[in-house]
Amino acid sequence: MLKKAAFVIACLVLVSAVAVAGPEPRAVNGKVLLGFTAEVGWPVITCVAGLPLPPYCDSSTTQVLGRLEVQTWMPASPSKSVAKFLNGPITFVVNCDLNAQYRGPCWGTFEWKVPGVGTWTGFWKAPIMDLMTYESKLSMVGIGSGGQIDGKQLVIEGESAPGDYYIASSVHIK
């Protein structure tokens, strides 16, 4: 009888501890800065109505089409709430349709390997990307695989003003 009572008390303590701690949060929100670190694969460039003048196009160009550029980026200053989920290099595949002033929409895919946590993979788009002033608007959506992020969804919305090197972003993980 005493063993049964001790077992019941232990179960009640365990259930109480779980109830006080609460379930794992369904969503985590925070902020992060995203910054370019390197170009690791040169894009295929088309200079519409103009001629290539590497790494740019000549002055008669009306539109610059870039395809399959590979870049690496790094996060900086993540909020404590999202820091463990947003560490390590991000590899972007970049496609852009830019005007003669190197401004326009860009899009592509990304892979974000977070050491000891897993990998985010997904798609991104930037309706505004200005390669001369760094102004941008960026949206990323990805799915986690492996470790702590397996099956989780990552949503990032960010922007930078002209002259800003980093894209200030809000993060939502669920």
Q: Which of 69, 146, 162, 61 is nearest to 112 (CA)?
A: 146
> Of 18-32, 86-100, 157-171, which range is least confident?
18-32
Which residue(s) pair with 124 in the sheet? 108, 140
Q: pLDDT tens digits, residue range 19-63?
A: 444 455 589 999 999 999 999 988 999 999 999 887 789 999 999
What totals of helices (H) and strands (E) does the chain contain, helices first? 1, 11
Domain assignment of residue 11, yes or no: no
Evaluate whether residue 5 is within a structural domain.
Answer: no
DSSP-based three-state secondary structure for 13 = helix
Express each pLDDT in 55-92 by its tens digit: 789 999 999 999 999 999 999 999 999 999 999 999 99
Count of domains for the chain: 1
User: How far is the C-alpha of 107 from the C-alpha of 97, rounded, in Å?
Assistant: 9
pLDDT band of 6, cuts 50, 70, 90? very low
Between CA 8 and CA 4 the distance in angstroms is 6
Confidence check: pLDDT of 5 > 50: no
- 3-class SS at 135? coil
Neighbouring-strand partners of residue 36: 73
What is the arithmetic mean of pLDDT over 89-106? 97
Q: Which amino acid is at 44?
A: V
Question: Is the residue at 41 inside a domain?
Answer: yes
Residue 14 falls inside a structural domain: no
Question: Is residue 152 within 8 Å of 24, Cβ to Cβ?
Answer: no
CATH number for the domain including 84?
A: 2.40.350.10
Residue pLDDT, tens place only, 122-150:
999 999 999 999 999 999 999 999 999 99
Dihedral of the alpha carbons of 40, 46, 50, 53, in degrees to the nearest 10 = 20
Q: What is the pTM of this model?
A: 0.82
Q: Which domain holds residue 153?
A: 26-173
